[in-house]
Amino acid sequence: MSAMANPRKKRTGKEEKLTFKERLAALRNLPAFFKMVWQTSPGLAIANTVLRVAQSAMPLSLLYVGKLIIDQVVHLSKDTHHPSAWLWKLVAIEFGLAILSDLLSRAISLLDGLLGDLFANHTSVKIMEHAAKLDLDQFEDAEFYDKLERARQQTSGRTVLLAQVLSQVQDIITIVFLAAGLVVFNPWLILLLLLAVIPAFLNESHFNDLYYKLAWGQTSDRRELDYIRYLGASDETAKEVKVFDLSNFLINRFKAISHKFYTDKKELQIRDSIWGTLFAMIGAAGYYAAYVIIIIRTISGQLSIGDLAFLAGSFRQLRTTFQGILIRFSSVTQGALYLRDLFEFFEIQPKMVPALHPRAFPKPILQGFTFEDVGFKYINSDKWAIRHLSFTLHAGEKLALVGENGAGKTTLVKLLSRLYDPVEGRILLDGVDLREYDLQELRTQVGVIFQDYQRYQMTVSQNIAVGNINQSGNQPMIEDAAKQSLAYPLIEKMPMGYEQMLGKRFNQGIELSGGEWQKIALARAYMKDAQLLILDEPTSALDARAEYNVFLRFADLTRDRTAVLISHRFSTVRMANRILVLERGTLVEIGSHEELLARKGRYAELFELQAAGYK
């Protein structure tokens, strides 16, 4: 629960306050956004745009036809002998326009929904693709996780921004037509219109800034809230929550954070509502001032009843549309600000840059891996995890790593498999810096099973195949890997065999014991035809005999391969050709089991301590 212990990172003044200039600058994100929308579905994007342009002509058309109908009705009421065929044609035209307008609106809503779903899927895939390119240590940085979380939040709802921008274009076209009539009639009505809507726009813009600031500042706490929600209601945590009686602690912590979210937003919403009501009243006053002018002109005989309806309707429509444009402009810039979070994530680049002309991985490895004064420390840490480490892992050698927790064993194997690059020194493979080799090929030639392996809520076959996912359809290879890891007898007893769903998250899934999960995980190591196999305490849940059998099998299967194993059981460690002892990230001693016992150093001390526990 370390996330709950971290104080919120202080934010800079630039993040606290967003100026109008910065809001305009955020619009620079729109071209990249539309490029992503276009990549999602060019056909739907074009169709949406065409339909919106057609819809923009509907308000003017309906108002004008309505004016003609009213004038025709007034005329017929004075001259009952005048033919009425034209009136009914106008009514039919208005009916047709109303139906067409409704069809266009529904089609636009449909396309918005379809495009939104596709865009959410497309963006989620791009986030996963980009995350896959980033370095492991970047995922261990809290600030990076905040950016990742804000990017994930943009995968849904961002097509609202697309609809808003297209609606802006649609409404601007509508305004051009409607405003022309008002300007011809009385230009002062346009001034009244501006006075009616600009205050509301400024108010909306101000509060949108405050909402963005609030959401930005809550990112870290919201991640903690999601984590607490997971801890309090998950099959994976239920056991410890009950044993340690954590439910009240988690519930109270959730209440405290969620209540703070509620009160902060409530205060802002109340202020927004009060000021919004005030400016809405100002807008209404502007509209009715224009309405009075139009009525007076009609009474004086300067306008017809149809003109009254047309102009009053046009002004009302203009006010609503213009206000919508200004307020939507605020929403568009707000959406563009949120897009900045998405594109900032895509701007994060891995520090492990591939070589311009990568070398092919040696097949076979001739000399081995050599650590030359290697040092490494984790991001945002001043403590060295490994320092001044020098040794050689010879080709075909079985090397065991020994040391207390935190000695640097797992860090060493992560450097060996190039999940990290050294901060100091270098690692050579057959005399060449490891960074000069093709990274993907290197990962293919190194098979690793860590102590914190993942328990995938998938089928048995899929759980094993993740070790070499390109062979997920190779059932004989999967079954062979299961036999090598001693998981085969377990799988044979399952109701659905290799198609059995593991875990309780999905229907018909079964839960395994810790040792059973480890046998499934071990099978992943044998899915690769890797030259280097690493087992980082993956058998900790097995009893001593089962672990001994696994490592006997492991030693036999890696007879012609290089292997590294980490285990706290010295009965297993002694199988290795050599044993490397680490303490506080430095090499204390290295040699065979017999050599290290004869030296009576740190290894002999640890061995005697464990042996005493069995006496």
Residues paired with residue 401 on neighbouring β-strands, in sequence order: 566, 580
The H-or-E segment that residue 21 falls in is helix 20-25
Strands (DSSP E) found in 309-455: 368-376, 386-394, 398-402, 424-429, 432-433, 446-449
Residue 429 has pLDDT above 90, yes or no: yes
Higher pLDDT, 244 or 478: 478
User: Residues 584-593: what's their mean pLDDT?
Assistant: 91
Task: Give the C-alpha separation, 245 to 574, whole Å.
Answer: 42
What is the pairing mode between strands 578-583 and 586-591? antiparallel
**Residue 513 neighbours by CB under 8 Å, 6+ apart:** 541
Residues paired with residue 447 on neighbouring β-strands, in sequence order: 533
Task: Give the C-alpha separation, 28 to 51, whole Å.
Answer: 26
The residue assigned the tokens 């914190």 is 452
Residue 518 has pLDDT above 50, yes or no: yes
- Token couple for 298: 């009609």
pLDDT computed for residue 470 by the predictor: 83
pLDDT computed for residue 100 by the predictor: 94
**Residue 182 neighbours by CB under 8 Å, 6+ apart:** 189, 190, 193, 311, 314, 315, 318
Residue 155 has pLDDT above 70, yes or no: no
Instruction: List, as one string, the DSSP characters of 172-206.
Output: HHHHHHHHHHHHHH-THHHHHHHHHHHHHHHHHHH
Counting residues of the chain whose pLDDT is more than 70, the rounded percentage is 87
- Token couple for 498: 């290799």
User: Residues 312-334: what's their mean pLDDT?
Assistant: 76
pLDDT computed for residue 65 by the predictor: 87
Residue 345 has pLDDT above 90, yes or no: no
Where are the domains positioned within the chain?
24-185, 186-302, 368-613
**Residue 131 neighbours by CB under 8 Å, 6+ apart:** 148
CB 379 within 8 A of CB 137: yes
Higher pLDDT, 319 or 425: 425
User: Which of 55-59, 203-207, 335-339, 495-499 reaches the highest mean pLDDT?
Assistant: 495-499
For the chain, what percentages of helix, strand and coil (3-state, to nearest 5) are there? 65, 10, 25
Give, to the nearest 10 degrees, the angle between helix 188-217 and helix 159-185.
Answer: 160
Write the pLDDT tens digit of every residue in 192-212. Answer: 767 767 777 777 777 777 777
pLDDT computed for residue 12 by the predictor: 39
pLDDT computed for residue 13 by the predictor: 36
- What does pTM read for this prediction? 0.62
Where does the pLDDT of residue 540 fall: very low under 50, low under 70, confident under 90, or very high at 90 and above?
Answer: low
How confident is the prediction for the chain on average, in pLDDT? 81
pLDDT computed for residue 478 by the predictor: 92
User: Which of 238-247, 289-298, 410-419 reaches the highest mean pLDDT?
Assistant: 410-419
Residue 281 has pLDDT above 70, yes or no: yes
CB 345 within 8 A of CB 150: yes
Which range among 223-237, 247-261, 501-515 shows the weakest confidence by mean pLDDT? 223-237
Residue 3 has pLDDT above 70, yes or no: no
Residue 478's identity, in one-letter code, is I
**Residue 250 neighbours by CB under 8 Å, 6+ apart:** 228, 231, 232, 241
Which range among 5-9, 241-245, 596-600 shows the weakest confidence by mean pLDDT? 5-9
How far CA 69 is from CA of 135, 220, 303, 309, in Å, comes to 69, 60, 15, 10
3-state secondary structure of 234: coil
Higher pLDDT, 44 or 556: 44
Residue 77 has pLDDT above 80, yes or no: no
Counting residues of the chain whose pLDDT is more than 90, the rounded percentage is 16
Q: Which CATH number fits domain 24-185: 1.20.1560.10, 3.40.50.2020, 1.25.40.320, 3.40.630.30?
A: 1.20.1560.10
pLDDT computed for residue 143 by the predictor: 75
For 567-578, b/e burial (b = at least 16 CB within 10 A) is bebbbbbebbeb
The H-or-E segment that residue 579 falls in is strand 578-583
How far CA 185 is from CA of 19, 319, 433, 509, in Å, comes to 38, 16, 80, 74
Residues paired with residue 393 on neighbouring β-strands, in sequence order: 369
Residue 15 has pLDDT above 50, yes or no: no
pLDDT computed for residue 609 by the predictor: 82
pLDDT computed for residue 106 by the predictor: 93
Higher pLDDT, 460 or 162: 460
What is the pairing mode between strands 368-376 and 424-429? antiparallel
Task: Give the C-alpha separation, 211 to 265, whole Å.
Answer: 8
pLDDT computed for residue 543 by the predictor: 66
User: Does the domain spanning 368-613 belong to CATH 3.40.1310.30?
Assistant: no
User: Residues 273-295: what's their mean pLDDT?
Assistant: 78
